[in-house]
Structure 1
């Protein structure tokens, strides 16, 4: 849920003559929410008690997916939509994402919305913002992303599920090939490795901190890429994470 100060700043932009479209692009707030705030700026109270937090391996996995390819948006008639973008090339990922959403919020319906090359696993609830307090206006890499203490406790308890969610959203397993001359004959060798790619320094740090705790060696490949290439570390990743499928 957007706080009152965010609502005031957003409406101030409208008052300065900016269109709803331009304000929505600048703030990440939907036009329908801005229109609603022009009628009532104070956040409404949810008549149902908010669950406040979640736990378990399904939540740890869904948290990784959300930080990578998820978003939460307010709906015109109230409530929020959680959307996780899953590439159609990996139907197993779509199934796993839907299973995690259902496990975290068993009382809410889950649907799949197909777009070009992508399926949005979508679920509606009043409680998504409190379950994912990293929700806010703007892109994740343009604002600070920090886990709440209760979320960090879930990650500490289920670190592999969290890493699996991050890799399945913004990561990949690739195989590098090289040829060496052995006893005068060329031999082809394969070197599997994992990558995690995200523009947010905070989210990359959440990934690498968890890898450190798991004893997985990693290196920064470039400004946005984390690489896991050592044989024993790749073996661990293969055992507990695995490639998208």
Structure 2
């Protein structure tokens, strides 16, 4: 690797700041074009002029309008099956929501929600065994989902920020839909009474995090949905909605996966 003196770099920056094109600077100073571009990028970033860094596209940092309905649904999906990460040394974060291929309609709805919440960013789908990862990239993902942190969700505190709680209270059914679409289902249970088999519908939500289950049940309480906690094998990870009136209420706003 060839190193250039401080004087050469300063001369290049002086020319660049004066409007000289990268190629002309490289020619005049006998410096590789890529090096000139790198110097220019670092100089503009240092002065707060780096292209893209000042793009106003974050509802939290820049105050741009937020589709609150779509966000409530997306928040439920994220808490259920979402994961935020970035490669080592990279500035941009990725949000990945893993959804089963049995429910292509939910995959479509998840991608539509990503596009509504992050309209300036492209989305993509990555095929994995039996499912697709629905993804979006943005430097502002930790701003929009402050629940992100090291380790698994059930190993750390999960609590909504006041602005998120306000959105959930404004659009509670969308939040519940996101949680059901990620970690829940509508199924048919059966029992035998007096020698006869009876079938009845039930909504089921399973999540290892006590905090996430608490957010789910607290929202159900505000909506007037009766639920019970089901402990299986000593683990209280399941929430059931089985009363007829409550199932009808859930059917009116959520319904089966599709």
TM-score bracket, normalised by the shorter chain, equals 0.7 to 0.9
Distance, in Å, in 2 between the alignment partners of 1:221 and 1:180 is: 21
Contact 2:67/2:116 (CA < 8 Å) preserved in 1? Answer: no
Query: What secondary structure, in the 3-state scheme, does the structure 2 residue paired with 1:235 have?
Result: helix
Q: How far apart in 2 are the matches of 1:199 and 1:77?
A: 30
Moved over 3 A (4+): 44-50
Instruction: Pick one of 152, 167, 182 that aligns with 1:169.
Output: 182
Aligned position for 2:217: 208
Q: Alignment length, in residue pairs? A: 198
* Alignment partner of 2:131 out of 110, 118, 125: 118
Give the alignment's Cα RMSD to 1 decimal.
1.7
Correspondence for 1:39: none
State the match for 1:91 in structure 2. Answer: 104
Deviations 1:63-82 (A, max 9, x none): 00000000111244321101
Aligned to 2:71: 59
Contact persistence 1:55–1:154 (CA under 8 A): no
1:229 aligns with 2:224: no
Structure 1 position 109 matched with structure 2 position 117: no
User: How far apart are residue 188 of structure 1 and its match?
Assistant: 3.6
Higher relative contact order (CA 8 A, sep 6+): 1
The separation in 1 between residues aligned to 2:120 and 2:255, in whole angstroms, is 30
Which residue in 1 is equivalent to 2:202?
193
SS at match of 1:192: strand
Give the C-alpha shift of residue 127 in structure 1: 1.1
Task: Find out whether 1:217 has 2:221 as its counterpart.
Answer: no
- The separation in 2 between residues aligned to 1:55 and 1:115, in whole angstroms, is 29
Q: Where do 5+ consecutive residues of structure 2 fail to align?
A: 1-45
Q: Which runs of 5+ in 1 are unaligned?
A: 1-43
1:188-218 CA-partner distances (Å, limit 9, x unpaired): 4211101110010100000000000000000
CA distance in 1, matches of 2:213, 2:81: 14
For residues 170 and 120 of structure 2, the distance between their equivalents in structure 1, rounded to whole angstroms, comes to 25
Match of 1:24?
none
User: Normalised by the size of structure 1, how large is the TM-score?
Assistant: 0.77
> CA–CA distance in 2 between the matches of 1:89 and 1:119?
10
2:82 matched to which residue of 1? Answer: 70
Aligned counterpart, 2:5? none
Specify the structure having the higher radius of gyration (Cα).
2
- In 1, the alpha carbon distance for the partners of 2:67 and 2:161 equals 13
How far off its partner does 1:178 sit? Answer: 2.8
SS in 1 for 2:94: strand
Q: Distance in 2 between matches of 1:55 and 1:106?
A: 10
Which residue does 1:41 correspond to in 2?
none
- Conserved 8 A contact 1:62-1:97: yes
